[in-house]
Amino acid sequence: MANPPSHLERGKPQPRGAPSDARSSQDAVRAPWSAFHHRDFTVIWTATLASNIGGWMYSASSGWLMTTLDADPFLVSLVQVAASLPLFLLALPAGALADILDRRRFLICAEIYIAAVSFVFAVFVSLDLVTPAILLLFVFLIETGAAATSPAWQSVVSQLVPRQDLPSAIALNSVGINISRALGPALGGLLTAILGIAAPFWINAFSNFGTIGALTWWRAPRERSRLPAERFMSAMRTGVRYVRYNRHLRATLLRAVAFFLFASCYWALLPVVAHSQIRGGARLYGFLLGVIGASAIAGAFALPQLKARLGSNGVVAAGSAATAVALVLFGLSREPGTAVAACVIAGASWIAVLANLNVSAQLALPNGCAAVGLRSMSPRSSEP
């Protein structure tokens, strides 16, 4: 008997001549935009786009600020470590909390925390009190809030759109992240040149207020369950047990680890590439990040066609191979042209792998385990 198709292959089109061909083709055309037909999703997506622009301004400026304090590659890479470590430490307990608590109120409180810490960070930068240790501390504290909200944001997506529009919502989330990734660093570099290094940090501090307002406005549908409320430790055990025995989700997580463990290298060391290898300035660094974001946006719009031709497994394999090529080019970069080519390849391949793995994880989970089983796969990427 033939092996059943993997979970990633479930989204492949039906063979030609199947009764659902016309409907599948129509859905493929509307898929990129269909989530915008729902007002709640559109409002929260727009608010978080503005917040993410501020977040990418602060993120890019943090990496560059470290190169001005100490250009040692190890210290520069620690900025990415400080940004990613909270997600590693808090993913499981944060998922359990998101499944137990009221997600809307939880997100509002966490976003207020992020805004407050970002405000204090901006004060430190303005008063020139930042050292490498203080920089790493504030990045860690801010990303702790982002990590705490990551599973909640993931699970909220299914409350904003019906299940048939979930792939569209996930893809549009990725598009929004990459629009902000294209605009944020470029705006950060421009404002740094005009107003000083503290400007991006102040904008980030205030950018969360739109998200807080949108969440306050949103009236989340009440989820009815016949089961009693789950306890914190029990919820974590349930999540671990579900992942252990769900082979589709387990395969997706293994692929995510295999890809992002190595692909994250260029996020950590791109400031070193711009500063030390190419001998460029903050504008070059912001431009390179902008190229990655613009390439990812283009890749997101090309995903339906790529998926139709290669299937989800093929897209993930091609994106992984392209990322390996990008990493080699980053290592060889001694002039801007090579680095730009690497960024074009890196952005498109990142979004291809991210979107497919995210959809695969979402479809592998029941609504009851949506938060405890899902994790963000890129910095601040789980926000709608």
DSSP secondary-structure letter at 165? G
The two structure tokens encoding residue 109:
């409180």
Q: Give the chain's mean pLDDT.
A: 78
% the chain with pLDDT above 90: 27
Q: What does the domain layout of the chain look like in residue ranges? A: 34-219+235-373
**Spatial separation of the C-alpha atoms in residues 114 and 131, rounded to whole Å:** 21
- For residue 366, name the pLDDT band (cuts at 50, 70, 90): low
Helices (H), the chain: 21-30, 39-69, 73-100, 103-126, 132-160, 166-195, 199-217, 232-245, 247-272, 282-332, 336-363, 370-373
pTM for the predicted model, two decimal places: 0.70
Coil/strand/helix, residue 161: coil
- Residue-wise pLDDT tens digits, 26-83: 444 445 677 888 888 889 999 999 998 999 888 888 988 998 898 888 998 899 889 8
Which CATH class, in words, describes the domain spanning 34-219+235-373?
mainly alpha
- Residue-wise pLDDT tens digits, 95-133: 777 777 788 888 999 999 999 999 999 999 999 999 999
CB neighbour list of residue 338: distance below 8 Å, 6 or more residues apart: 329, 332
